[in-house]
Structure 1
Amino acid sequence: MRKVTGNPVGTVKRGEALRTLFLSWALLTTLGGCAVAPGSYMGVDAPGEITAQQAGETQPTELVRDGITFRLYPLNGALIAQLAAMTEQSAGTSLPPPRLRSSTYRVRSGDSLRVIVWDRPELNNPGFSSLTTSIVSVGPAANTGQPTAAAAGNLDPLGRVVQADGSIYFPYVGKVMVAGETVEAIRRDLTARLDKYVKNPQLDVSVASYRSQKIYVSGAVKAPGAIALTDTPEAVADAISGAGGYDQDADLASATLERDGHLYPLDLYAFFYKGDLAQNVLLEDGDIIHVPERRLKKVFVLGEVAKPVSQIMPVGPFSLSEAISDAGGLNQVSANASQVYVFRQGPGRTVDVFQLNANSPGMLVLADQFLLRPRDLVFVDAAQVTRFYRVVAQVVPFASSIFLGAQAFK
């Protein structure tokens, strides 16, 4: 007869107690759902939200956690129309870009003037008589976009530079103040002064090189830098073209124009793709056009989608349907289509949460009308059965080890 050591009754009771404890714990965790299930869970019951969505209610449900106020909005047609109206209103109240009238170019210090007196070669710049052609070329390859004159039979490439005090020197006449004057005014002044020494002088004045007035283009353009202003009015489109055009990663809708310490919004997307000529403003000396990159203009799609992604927004509008589609769509096995959320940073410590019930085909149409903003977070919640399966997947290995350990005591 085998000798029994210890307390076999106590061993059996210990094993039964462990199994009872395991079953109770498994039941509690199954009911608790997200307490042990991996991944995020909104923790909001779906039926009430779906009812509010079908009723067309747009008032938010507020929830405060960790000092942050979450405002839940059921997504419907009325809410989308309201958001679109708010976007148009905010765009209308922003500071409009300045518009200037075309004006005649006025010479400033640094410009180079070409003064020609016909039949008096000794009054012209050195080298004038040796020039043979009559073609004026503009150097498009110059980084500054500054026009340059080539050799010409009636144009001297070596002009007279306007000094810091705004004057030039001309034979017989001496120092002549030209800063702030148009070339026509300078021509009349030189003609009147020279008439005392040369009978009936035939005189011509033009700008050989524009150096004094510049605009600047920075950011996501192919050739950022300075561009010289000429006698032809320069607009935003001319400046972008002079900088080589914009890059494919440019955030056209968020461009800015800086002038005299003030920052003006410029929607270059509306200009290039919608023909909004109001954005093509005329530029002044010292203006800075900045085209930011779209690198920081991202949306995040997480949760029960085929491929969670962090994606850069494309040029132009970007809808909720596009974001979900680019993430591979909803996971057909684990996703709860009635609980698709968009988290958006609000004022202060608030977060606006928009809920979409994607079970309805009509709501999928609304999702294509709901436009996302930079840094929006799209989250697709998991179905209840999915959380249950995940709990079981975690519990089974742990339960097996407990059960096997209890068997060892027998």
Structure 2
Amino acid sequence: MHNNRGARAVALCLALTTIASCGTLPRSGPSKNEIYAGSVLREGDAFVVSVNDRVTTATSVTPALGFSDAFINASPLGADTIRPGDTLGLIVYENVEDGLLTNAGASASLIDELQVDGAGFIFIPYAGRIRAAGNTPEALRRIITQRLDQQTPDPQVLVRRLAGDGATVSVVGGATAQGVYPIERPTRTLTAMIAAAGGVSIPTEIARVSVSRGHLTETVLLEDLYRNPQLDIALRNGDRILIEEDSRAFTVLGATGSQQRLEFQTDLVSAIEALAQVGGLQPQLANPTGVFIFRNEPEEIAEAVLGRDDLIGTQRMVYVLDLTAPTGMFNARDFIIRDGDTVYVTEAPIVAWNRSVAAIFGSLTPINAAVNTVEGL
């Protein structure tokens, strides 16, 4: 009889173990062992790497934002330089009663809103077709005076450069007042032009500013733009300025306070900050030794992490954080999350066992009664 009771108790334990080990019970995702089973070392397709100081350093490379030397070294446009499309205003004074351009009884002639054509020229009666683009108003004044001096004695000419559409930039996206703005003396640099557009209408800590010039587009963080005067580049005719929110995001899954896709709220987010944003680990479920970060790593970074030089192309990497290790919390604090990462927290082994018991008995409470029943048989 005693052997029979023992056999039944063993059978009950084996049944529970079988249920716990099978994959049919509901759960939040793969177990720690199942993730390791996908390692390259076990004929899988991903490299599973424990995070330490060396790995943290090798993976801390983030896409650099900023402007190239070509953008930074461009000198500001001369505010007085005339360009095709600009609008000019001319006043011509003549020292004769019946002048070439003036009306009878008038000493001056006003030629307003004279637009520079696409080739950079303007036409003035009796002076002919004159190249205006590339000249300052003062230089153009001397040219016109010389031309008219041949037709009327001692003409006096005034040239004004009016706000025109010759040198303009477009400001779109998260600007308070989107539009096309002329490059004038107060708005020759990027920050000045953003200010002219009313500033930004999105949170500054996640705002990015992209400048497109020809076929080249470069991006800088708005906060970096204001912190580093070197990034306040000079603008060029036709520049396109786009202000937008940071679109980077990562996903947190598994035994955490919540499971969701999160957008970057700051330029850099550490693994510990990523977990904190979803309420941390669930004490009743999470396995603090099994926090995984899934990432497609560029070839050069993967080789630096693995200490090899024979990899080809992007590699699947799984980084493992053990928060119970002596330096585990420091590693999690220093490990930088990147765009597209998936942070996954595995369940503790006891959770699978508890779930199996609950599947049979409805809860953990009847387990003692079940054991007592077996022993009483």
Deviation, 1:112, is 1.0
1:266 to 201, 220, 237: 220
Deviation, 1:72, is 1.8
2:76 to 102, 107, 113: 102
Distance 1:20 1:386, change over 3 A: closer
Number of the residue aligned with 1:145: none
Deviation, 1:23, is 6.7
Aligned: 1:195 with 2:149: yes
Deviation, 1:339, is 1.1
Q: More deviation in 381-390 or 254-263?
A: 254-263
Number of the residue aligned with 1:351: 316
2:92 to 97, 108, 117: 117
Partner Cα distance (2:139, 2:169) in 1: 25
Number of the residue aligned with 1:148: none
Aligned: 1:283 with 2:235: yes
Deviation, 1:268, is 3.5
The alignment's TM-score, normalised by the length of structure 2, stands at 0.74
Deviations 1:170-203 (A, max 9, x none): 3432433323322222111011122234433332
Q: Which amino acid aligns with 1:371?
A: I
1:222 to 176, 181, 206: 176
Q: How many residues align?
A: 335
Number of the residue aligned with 1:9: none
Structure 1: tracts of 5 or more residues without a match: 1-18, 49-60, 130-153, 401-410
Preserved contact between residue 91 and residue 111 of structure 2 (Cα < 8 Å): no
Deviation, 1:92, is 9.4
Question: How large is the Cα RMSD of the aligned pairs?
Answer: 3.9
2:30 to 25, 29, 41: 41
Preserved contact between residue 16 and residue 353 of structure 2 (Cα < 8 Å): no
Q: More deviation in 243-252 or 361-370?
A: 243-252
Distance 1:244 1:278, change over 3 A: same
Q: Which amino acid aligns with 1:107?
A: I
| 1:77-156 paired onto structure 2 within 5 Å | 77-84=53-60, 86-87=61-62, 91=64, 96-98=69-71, 99-104=73-78, 105-118=80-93
User: What secondary structure, in the 3-state scheme, does the structure 2 residue paired with 1:291 have?
Assistant: strand
| 1:23-34 paired onto structure 2 within 5 Å | 24-30=14-20, 32=21, 34=23
Deviation, 1:239, is 2.7
Partner Cα distance (1:76, 1:36) in 2: 34
Deviation, 1:254, is 5.4
Partner Cα distance (2:75, 2:67) in 1: 22
Distance 1:328 1:175, change over 3 A: same
Preserved contact between residue 125 and residue 159 of structure 1 (Cα < 8 Å): no
Deviation, 1:235, is 1.8
Deviation, 1:362, is 3.9
Aligned: 1:379 with 2:375: no
Structure 2: tracts of 5 or more residues without a match: 1-8, 299-312, 367-377
User: What secondary structure, in the 3-state scheme, does the structure 1 residue paired with 2:238 have?
Assistant: coil
Partner Cα distance (1:158, 1:329) in 2: 69
Partner Cα distance (2:13, 2:125) in 1: 109
Distance 1:72 1:395, change over 3 A: same
Preserved contact between residue 76 and residue 188 of structure 2 (Cα < 8 Å): no
The alignment's TM-score, normalised by the length of structure 1, stands at 0.69
User: What secondary structure, in the 3-state scheme, does the structure 2 residue paired with 1:69 have?
Assistant: coil
Distance 1:290 1:330, change over 3 A: same
Identity of aligned residues (%): 23
Distance 1:304 1:242, change over 3 A: same
Preserved contact between residue 233 and residue 282 of structure 1 (Cα < 8 Å): no
Preserved contact between residue 174 and residue 201 of structure 2 (Cα < 8 Å): yes
Preserved contact between residue 117 and residue 123 of structure 1 (Cα < 8 Å): no
